[in-house]
Amino acid sequence: MKPIVWDSRKCHVGEGPVATGALLSKIYWVDILNNKVLWRDLNSDESGEIETSENVSFVLPRADGGLILGNAQGPDALAATGAIERLPGRPEADGSQDPVPMRWNDAKVGPCGEIWMGTKASGETDRVGLHRLSADGSETTRILSGMKLSNGMDWSPDGKTFYLIDTVALALYAFDYESGEISNQRRAISFDAGAQQYPDGMTVDGEGCLWIAFWNGNCIRRYSPDFQLIDTLEFPVRFVSSCAFAGPDLKTLVVTTAIGDDGWHDEHESAGMTFIVETDVKGKAAYVFGK
């Protein structure tokens, strides 16, 4: 399994790849700080981008063929026609505006068609945590508070366990998941503080193993369903930010990277580019927002 550069557009902070379409071959991801949604097709090699008016932290597929964009003050529903509708966000969920500058961070669609959205703050606040947008898009609800940097998330193949990373706390949490609700939070992995490698985005494969990207770690690490490290995939760039399985057989791992953020900077010529890795492991398809 060797990473190769698949898309040479350099992202300041590339994040959140997701495979869409009947063949799971149209890949979307974001360049958060450059206010862009990028896309490329694994089969046709066609590519393009969507510019946003704000930092955009995630892009997710809709059942009607549109997209949900994690614009800083969103989320926003983007229709196939290009029309944008702002959906309920943090102010509606929390009853007030953000106390410090904040934006969405990683997000994913859940098994029941809802969207789970983490947050990142520029300043001290206990509001960093997790929100949930209902599957019909009518309501956003705060689920967790008091995190440091809410980041990568995914579900076990049977949909019964939800995983969530707190990057700054160096923790992976597991929760019981049922009917769009989470409970029984427990710390499943505590990462090594001395390594100065920070868990970022993640995906879960069809065997229930967790593939976790490490910021400042030059790697993705694969953990077993009982949270034992079983493999490490090395990259030439420092800031490996997220990953997702794609393609008809779901064996192509698409990996985003970053040039840097918050004082971090990678001088490598491939920093910020998007990689693919052909694996011998089958992933699982992303859930789609809405009914």
| Active site residue ranges | 200
**Residue 104 backbone phi and psi in degrees, to 5:** -70, 160
User: Is 144 within 8 Å of 130 (Cβ atoms)?
Assistant: yes
List all residues 6 or more positions away from 261 whose beta carbon is below 8 Å from its beta carbon.
Answer: 12, 13, 33, 239
Q: Using CA atoms, how far apart are residues 90 and 8, in angstroms rounded to an integer?
A: 34
Q: Using CA atoms, how far apart are residues 44 and 172, in angstroms rounded to an integer?
A: 37
Q: Using CA atoms, how far apart are residues 170 and 166, in angstroms rounded to an integer?
A: 6
* DSSP conformational letter for 101: -
